[in-house]
Amino acid sequence: MYQTIVLEKENGVAKLTLNRPDRLNSFNVQMHQELQAALDDVATDQESRCLLITGAGRGFCAGQDLNDRAVSADDEAPDLGMSVEKFYNPLIRRVINLKMPVICGLNGVAAGAGASLVMACDIVVAAKSASFILSFAKVGLIPDSGSSWHFARAVGLPRAKAMAMLGTKVKAEQAEQWGLIYKVVDDDILHEETNQMALYLAKQPTEALANIKQLVHTAFDFSLNEQLERERQAMQHLGRSHDYREGVAAFMEKREPEFKGK
């Protein structure tokens, strides 16, 4: 069905693999279209309760495939704003608004919009060989696809501006120390580590996790009093859910809960 990505589903986990390894899984129009379709599929699939995103081959994603958007200095100026609005912004919004946890198994370089996609995920586990490069300035552009928003919040303004302006590589262990990602693991266990995490999350109370995701992701947009009210509303809603009652019952009965995700 897909040519530039692979979508697999098993045991409540949807695994999406960027699959253009000969181009370091860089974005072209076809990949964007297939990602849109795959994410719509996952969002409406009643069985999927966690999404795992990774890349095929030695890289995660090198950003925009410039061969798919080749221009010379004498060419008519393209409308990159239209490209961002048509492809990149919808991709980031889909990942962020997906009502389930999204794990990134960062298996190699994440450059440009590839780094933006990583930061849209909820939990990032990186191989030791992985790295980030905000490479936009090298071609006269600014960090898009949410990078200016995510990186500033994750590492602070001084580091975010330096990463964006210098375009230097930040290795996985440095990214972990800066609080950019959740953790780093040896390359040979990345697949096992992220799969086990996805399987665990797929068995948890999905609606509660979706509310956690939304509350934390937007926390800086609200005052403390506003956030307290949002938490109250979420607690009121989740207190009426099956999974809350099941969680309490399982705790009292000293057994493993069987959450249904609702």
Domain boundaries, the chain: 5-202, 206-252
- C-alpha to C-alpha distance for 258 and 150, rounded to whole angstroms: 34
Closest CA to 14 of 6, 23, 22: 6
Tokens encoding 149: 């928003």
> What is the predicted pLDDT for the residue at 66?
86
For residue 133, list its beta bridge partners: 111
The average confidence (pLDDT) of the chain is: 95
Residue 259's Cβ-count burial label (10 Å; 0-12, 13-18, 19+) is: buried
pLDDT band for position 75 (cuts 50, 70, 90): low
What is the rounded distance in angstroms from the CA atom of residue 66 to the CA atom of residue 225?
Answer: 46
Stretch among 70-84, 154-168, 221-235 having the lowest mean pLDDT:
70-84
pLDDT of amino acid 262: 82
Residue 260 scores a pLDDT above 50: yes
- Please report the beta strands in 25-169, taking only residues with DSSP state E, as ranges in sequence order: 50-55, 102-106, 109-111, 123-127, 131-133
Q: Is the pLDDT of residue 71 over 60?
A: no
The span from the CA of 205 to the CA of 242, in Å, is 9
Q: Tens digits of per-residue pLDDT, 110-152?
A: 999 999 999 999 999 999 999 999 999 999 999 999 999 999 9
Tokens of 233: 């509303």
74 — pLDDT class (breaks 50, 70, 90): low
**For residue 24, what are the contacts with CB-CB under 8 A and spacing of at least 6?**
55, 57, 58, 59, 61, 62, 108, 109, 111
The HSE-up count of residue 213 (CA atoms within 13 Å, CB side) is 21
Q: Classify domain 5-202 by CATH number.
A: 3.90.226.10
3-state DSSP call for residue 132?
strand
